[in-house]
Amino acid sequence: MPRRRASDPRKTPLQARSRDTYDTILEATARILETKGLEAANTNAIAERAGISVGSLYQYFPGKTAIFAELIRRNDAATAEGLAELVAATAGQDLAARLRALVHAAVAQQFARPRLARILDYLEATLGADEALAAADERIAGSIEALLRAHADELARPPTAVVARDVLWIAKGMIDGASLAGEGDGAAVEPRVVRALLGYLGVEDDAVREGEASRAGIRPEGGSRRGRPRRA
């Protein structure tokens, strides 16, 4: 039998009441993390915030590390599911529109609870190998690769798994960086991320070109090149 890790919950709740208690513990932890920070998130504080005894908490989790890990697993699983649904829902749209939709969803998630998101990112980096997190990561990258493959003839780069991960990390790096820098306007972040992704993929988009030309006081010339590779 595999040895239980400190990041593993004691048991998976099956009954509705147990699931409610389990979820309450997780949300209480999230609230403490985003309002008081990581140092304040100990098992006594979590139990008090959840309205249960510390003994009840320990029925589900061996300690705070396991609670943090489960929060991260849930967050990553929800991200993977939401991305897969969004890729399916935007099928048939042009590449730039689909990227804008994905970036909008990613920014909305990060900026909804920015302090919590930053702390969970930090904690995730401290966890060891985790099958659930690895599966979510593979699903996220796979969804992006599937989207790119649907527009392979529009790209200046081949839609490989490596390119898909580059797209993921460019977007994540810029969005996380903006949040860390204290930018409060997610809508201002989105077009910058989309421009970076289109630039990396070698694709020009009318909305981006016209926006840049407008800021420079230049009227764009020529016909539409939306969804076409940028030529050297």
Between 206 and 132, the more confident residue is 132
Can you tell me the mean pLDDT for 146-168? 97
Does 72-229 carry CATH code 2.60.40?
no
Can you tell me the mean pLDDT for 192-210? 84
User: Residue-wise over 137-164: b if at least 16 C-beta within 10 A, else e?
Assistant: bebbbbbbbebbebbeebbebebeeebb
Rounded CA gap, 14 and 36, in Å?
Answer: 31
Convert the pLDDT of each residue in 132-150 to its tens digit: 999 999 999 999 999 999 9
Residue 121: CB atoms within 10 A of its CB come to 16
Whole-prediction pTM? 0.82
The two three-digit tokens of residue 27, written as one number: 């949300």
pLDDT of 11 higher than 90: no
Can you tell me the mean pLDDT for 198-202? 96
Convert the pLDDT of each residue in 68-77 to its tens digit: 999 999 999 9
pLDDT of residue 3: 55
Query: Between helices 64-89 and 43-50, what is the axis angle to 10°?
Result: 60
**Residue in 91, 96, 102 with CA at minimum distance from that of residue 227:** 96
Q: Structural domain boundaries of the chain?
A: 72-229
pLDDT of residue 224: 43
